[in-house]
Amino acid sequence: MLQVAFIQENKEDIIARLAKRNIDATEMINEAIAFDEDRKAIQTKLDNTKAESNALSKEIGNLYKSGETQKANILKQKTTQLKEITKTFEQELNDKVEALSELLYRIPNVPNPIVPAGNTDEDNEETFREGDIPKLYDGALPHWELAKKYNIIDFELGNKITGAGFPVYIGKGARLQRALIAYFLDKNTAAGYIEYQLPHLVNEASGFGTGQLPDKEGQMYHVTADNLYLIPTAEVPATNIFRDTLLNESDLPISITGYTPCFRREAGSYGAHVRGLNRLHQFDKVEILRVEHPDNSYNALDGMVEHVKGILQDLKLPYRILRLCGGDLGFTSALTYDFEVFSTAQDRWLEVSSISNFETFQANRLKLRFKNSEGKNELCHTLNGSSLALPRVLAGILENYQTEDGIKIPEVLVPYTGFDMIS
C-alpha cells in the first residue's frame, strides 16, 4: 500500500509510472489526496472540539469549587452537546479513514523507473541467458509422457483423488521431488538464510498484509468455515512473521527460507500450455525472503538474483532472466526478475522463479518498521523470490536430461536421491 504522504509529494511521477502498468491512475490518486485532506479537516475539528470540551470541564470544576453552581450547570449542558458533536466527528473520521484505506488497497505498487513499459509477457526484457540447450535423441518425449513411461508421476490418479492439477508422485519421482526440496533448502541456508517451517493456512489479515487480498482473492482457496486461506506461496506466512513489528536498525537485514506446498485455483487456465507440470493447483516451492534497510534493498535484490543463478548453474539447466514489463508486473512489486528454464521437448521457456522488491508497499500494510539511527520509525523494504518452484524445474530436468536409456539425474542431486538414473 502506498503512503499518502508519498502520493502527495510525488503525484505526477506516480501517475506517470503507474501508466507503465497500462493504468490511468489519475482519478484514484486525486481521490486519495482529497480523502486525506478531508480526513485532516475532520481530525482538526475533532481535536478542537475535544480541546474545547476539556477546557470547559476544567472551568466547570473550578466553578463548582468556588460555589458557582448555576454557571457550572449551564456550562455542563454545553459539554453534553460537545460530546455528541465529538461522537459525530469520530464517526465521520472513521468512515473517511476506512474509505481512504479501501482506495489505497486498490492502487498497485509504483514500478521502479527501470521497469520497461509493455502490455504482456512478450514485452519483458531479457537481461541474461546461460547454458546450452541440449540436442535430444529422435523420439524425445515431453515430461508428462516421460512421467507415464517411467511411472514417476500419475496425473490421472491425482485427478481421481482430487481433481486436475493435483499430481501424485511415485517412487523415484517422489524421491527426486524430495531431493530438490532438500537441495534448495541446503543451498539457501548455506547462503545465510534461516530456515522456517510455516503454516499452510493464513488468516485474512495475513492475506491483506502481503497484498494477496483483495487483488488475488479469486485465485486462493478459501476455507469459509474458519475464514482461512490456503497459501498460494510461502511468501504470505513468511512475510507476516513481521506484521506489526518494530525492529532495531541493527536487526537488518533479515533473511529466511522455507519450504511449503502452494495452492492456487488458477481459474481459467486451460489448454496445451498448462499440461503436465506446467501449471498445477498444488505444487511445492522453496522460498527466500529478505527484510532490508531501504538503502540496501536493491543490492539485496541483485544478490538474490545471483543466488538463484548459482542454483540453476549447479543443475546445469539452460535458463534466462527477464525483467518484467509494467503490464506483466505483479500488483505488489516495484521490480521483478523472472527466471525461465528451457523445456527442450516442449520447445518453450518455463518460469521457475520470480524475484521481487516490494520496497515499502508490503511493509506499509504490515506496519513493519525499524527505528533508524535518528531514533525515528521508518518502513522496511521487503523482498522475496522462489528458490525454486519445483514443478517446472522438475519438468526441465526430466526433458533436458532424458536419454534413450532413461533420465539422468543432475550430478548435484545424486547425493540427495541415492540414484543417478531413472530407467
- C-alpha 361/C-alpha 4 separation (Å) is 12
Give domain status of residue 220, yes or no. Answer: yes
Give domain status of residue 12, yes or no. Answer: yes
Say what percent of the chain tops pLDDT 90: 90
Tell me how far the alpha carbon of residue 275 is from its chain's centroid: 26
- C-alpha 296/C-alpha 306 separation (Å) is 16
Is the same domain home to 54 and 145?
no
Decide if 72 contacts 58 (C-beta within 8 A): no
Which parts are annotated binding residues?
233, 264-266, 287, 351-354, 384
Domain residues for the domain of 83 are 4-106
Is the same domain home to 184 and 242?
yes
Is the same domain home to 287 and 406?
yes
The answer to whether residue 362 scores a pLDDT higher than 80 is yes
CATH code, 70: 1.10.287.40
More confident position, 211 or 272: 211
Is the same domain home to 365 and 241?
yes
Q: Render pLDDT for 387-417 as a digit per residue (tens, 0 to 9).
A: 999 999 999 999 999 999 999 999 999 999 9
Is the same domain home to 283 and 399?
yes
Residues 302/303/309/313 CA torsion (nearest 10 deg): 150
Give domain status of residue 115, yes or no. Answer: no
The answer to whether residue 60 scores a pLDDT higher than 80 is yes
CATH code, 409: 3.30.930.10
Residue 123, judged by CB atoms within 10 A of its CB (0-12, 13-18, 19+), counts as middle
Q: Which of 82, 106, 130 is the last residue of a domain?
A: 106
- C-alpha 57/C-alpha 345 separation (Å) is 82
Q: Which of 72, 106, 140 is the last residue of a domain?
A: 106
- Predicted local distance difference test score (pLDDT) of residue 64: 87
Is the same domain home to 17 and 150?
no
Q: Render pLDDT for 270-324 as a digit per residue (tens, 0 to 9).
A: 555 679 999 999 999 999 999 999 999 999 999 999 999 999 999 999 999 999 9
Decide: helix, strand or coil at residue 247: strand
Is the same domain home to 288 and 391?
yes
- C-alpha 150/C-alpha 167 separation (Å) is 15
Is the same domain home to 329 and 362?
yes
For residue 280, give the nearest of 422, 141, 395 by alpha carbon.
395
- Predicted local distance difference test score (pLDDT) of residue 272: 55
Is the same domain home to 129 and 229?
yes
- Predicted local distance difference test score (pLDDT) of residue 310: 98
> Stretch 75-86: mean pLDDT, rounded?
91
In order of 55, 328, 366, the CA distances from 28 in angstroms are: 40, 21, 22
- Predicted local distance difference test score (pLDDT) of residue 76: 87
Is the same domain home to 362 and 414?
yes
> Stretch 243-269: mean pLDDT, rounded?
92
Rg, the chain, Cα only = 27
Is the same domain home to 311 and 198?
yes
- C-alpha 84/C-alpha 275 separation (Å) is 64
Q: Which residue has the cell 541474461?
A: 128
- The DSSP H or E segment spanning 194 is strand 194-195
What total of structural domains would you count in the chain? Answer: 2
Which parts are annotated binding residues for L-serine?
233, 264, 287, 384
Which parts are annotated binding residues for ATP?
264-266, 351-354
Is the same domain home to 391 and 317?
yes
Give domain status of residue 111, yes or no. Answer: no
Instruction: Kindly state the greatest CA–CA separation across the chain.
Output: 107
Residue 301, judged by CB atoms within 10 A of its CB (0-12, 13-18, 19+), counts as buried
Decide if 160 contacts 293 (C-beta within 8 A): no
- C-alpha 110/C-alpha 364 separation (Å) is 14
Mean pLDDT (the chain) is 95
